[in-house]
Chain A
Amino acid sequence: MTGNPFPVLEINHLHVKRGNEFDLIIDQFNLHQGEVMAIIGPNGAGKSTLLLSISKLLAPTTGAILFRGTPLDEINDLEYRRNIALVLQDPLLFDTSVYDNISTGLRFRGLSKSEQNERIEDWLSRLKIDHLKNRHASQLSSGQAQRVSLARAMVLRPTLLLLDEPFRALDTPTRKALIEELRILLSETATTTIFITHDQEQALSLGDRVAVILDGRLRQVGSPQSVFAAPIDSDVANFLGVENVLPGQVMDSNQGKITVDVQGIMLEAIGQEKSGKQVLFCLRPEDITIWRTKEVPKSSARNQLPGRVNSISDQGPLLQISIDCGFPLVALITRASVRDLELELGMQVSVAFKASAVHLIPR
């Protein structure tokens, strides 16, 4: 920690124009010392444009980016870049050994050989690639190459680490292992980090806070729990996989308990919206449980409805069940559950979900 009272990074009214068709607009954004900010959004949303601007590789059209309270245009380019380290989706290792790759940024900074060696050995060990140090970069697997790329950045002890989808090309087990290791390393070193991804799972795993960018606009920033549980609008909800977004109207509101009319069916939610308010009723598919109609147990779920199975589709480890309850609901359940329930198309079932699982968005 330093004594600097300013956020590591601050963005004020940033507007970046790229060509005639794309604009990135961010009104306000702060990143504090030691914080890991996961920036998520679909392809083409503007995540990389933001990263380029923060790297001082793309000049804003208007607005300001401040580094520790000083606008970037008042800081020498090289001086600023030597406070940051960039890891890209492609590890982009140089045509030399692992050791020389990791030393690249240190050599740029003119560090002594002994200090270079000390830092490199430390990060070779932390990222478990000691045994690869003399190997040529072209002979590494994707996972090993990305570890080297991370070591090459971390060895610089950056004030701000910028990660641009570094795990995108990795297979699932490698990715999960590396994310977990990186989470621990970032926490141990208190490295302030911006982590760009389009993968919500990765954002949840690494981010202390999550920022959602859609169509060049920063739409929502908050803790992973708050962003995923309470998306700010239907676009964010859709992007975050809240597949059940239904228009409704608040019929009753009493001490935080709300009754919402969704297409003629009364459902319960928790919130502060007033009676008569038009809302979007949002429910994550994994928050829905399904029962065989004759076997509904007593449950704390305030919402229980009958329905009919419309479709069953594969979603990798889970199955997506579409149910007609008078309005369409989508649920995600395990294969084992589908087997136990003997679910099949057209079958009558009961669905249940808690009032607290519902998120209401005013419209």
Chain B
Amino acid sequence: MELIWDGIKEAFLLIIRGDPEIWAITWLTLRVSGTATAISLLIGLPIGTWLALRKFTGRGCLFSFINTGMAFPPVVIGLWVSIFLWRSGPLGFLGIIYTPAAMVIAQTIIATPIVVGLTIAALQQLNPYMRMQLLGLGASQFQAILAMWRESRLLLLAALMAGFGSIISEVGASMMVGGNIKDQTRVLTTAIVLETSKGRFTFAIALGFILLLLAYIVNYGLTIFQQRGARNKEIQ
């Protein structure tokens, strides 16, 4: 119990003192996971929308594949990204293994199926005649899609939160493709693993506390935004 309490105290002190290493790790964590979330949204939202609105043979099979992708172990993704980015690998010429860019790629691959899957679910819960109604009011295809995103924005925000949550907390892929290099690719999760392995439990607990705090602040912001939409519906 004392260990936990010391960890919390140290976390508090690290935050208050503005320890440069901690801030650098935290900033990199936010940058890598934020960028990967944004990219997964850019990729996942259109793909999810297309899949939700199109009917074609094998659609169910593809949905199952995406749903499986939502539960893909990050360490397996880390392995495959490492193989591709390794110097002798197919994309080795890019020279980005053990860089934040490699971590962004791995985290994007983890988050994208989640965003795609939840986008499909969000659009499919809309009235099936919604698109027809929008087109029947003179919407272009793009305007209709924007309006449908707006209608399902609460669930799309949930997709965003789920995507961000899945990658800010993952460690396997970041460790494998980033290498946990000090001042370069060390993020909160990989730093926690390192400090724990060194027996610096107090410091590890402090980092864990900061990670939780970070995840909470980001999700709090998104939740407030999401619930504001829900409240507008309820109160008049």
**Chain A partners chain B:** yes
Chain A positions near chain B (C-beta within 8 angstroms): 52, 55, 57, 78, 81-82, 84-86, 88, 90, 92, 94-95, 104-105, 108-109, 134-136, 138-139, 152-153, 156, 162
Cβ-closest chain B residue relative to A93: B133
What is the distance, in angstroms, from A192's C-beta to the closest C-beta of chain B? Answer: 15
What is the distance, in angstroms, from B20's C-beta to the closest C-beta of chain A? Answer: 46
Q: Which residues of B contact A55 (CB under 8 A)?
A: 132, 135-136
Can you sample 18 A-B contacts with CB below 8 Å?
A52-B132, A57-B136, A78-B140, A82-B138, A85-B138, A86-B133, A86-B137, A88-B132, A90-B127, A92-B127, A94-B151, A104-B137, A104-B147, A108-B137, A108-B140, A136-B233, A152-B137, A156-B137
Q: Which residues of B contact A108 (CB under 8 A)?
A: 137-140, 143
Number of interface residues of B (CB under 8 A): 20
Contact status of A162 and B136, CB under 8 A, knowing A95-B233, A136-B236: yes
Q: CB of B197 within 8 A of chain A? A: no
What is the distance, in angstroms, from A45's C-beta to the closest C-beta of chain B? Answer: 19
Interface of A is mostly: mixed
Q: CB of B88 within 8 A of chain A? A: no
Query: CA separation between A152 and B133, bound complex, in Å?
Result: 11
| CB < 8 Å neighbour of B133 from A92, A139, A156 | A92
What is the distance, in angstroms, from A145's C-beta to the closest C-beta of chain B? Answer: 13
Q: Assess the A94–B236 pair: CB atoms within 8 A.
A: no
Q: Assess the A57–B130 pair: CB atoms within 8 A.
A: no
What is the distance, in angstroms, from B98's C-beta to the closest C-beta of chain A? Answer: 46
Contact status of A92 and B236, CB under 8 A, knowing A108-B138, A156-B138: no
What is the distance, in angstroms, from A287's C-beta to the closest C-beta of chain B? Answer: 40
Cβ-closest chain A residue relative to B144: A108
What is the distance, in angstroms, from B166's C-beta to the closest C-beta of chain A? Answer: 27
User: Considering the complex, which residues of chain B in the window 129-169 have a beta carbon less than 8 Å from any beta carbon of chain A?
Assistant: 129-130, 132-140, 143, 147, 150-151
| CB < 8 Å neighbour of A153 from B137, B143, B229 | B137
Q: Which residues of A contact B232 (CB under 8 A)?
A: 136
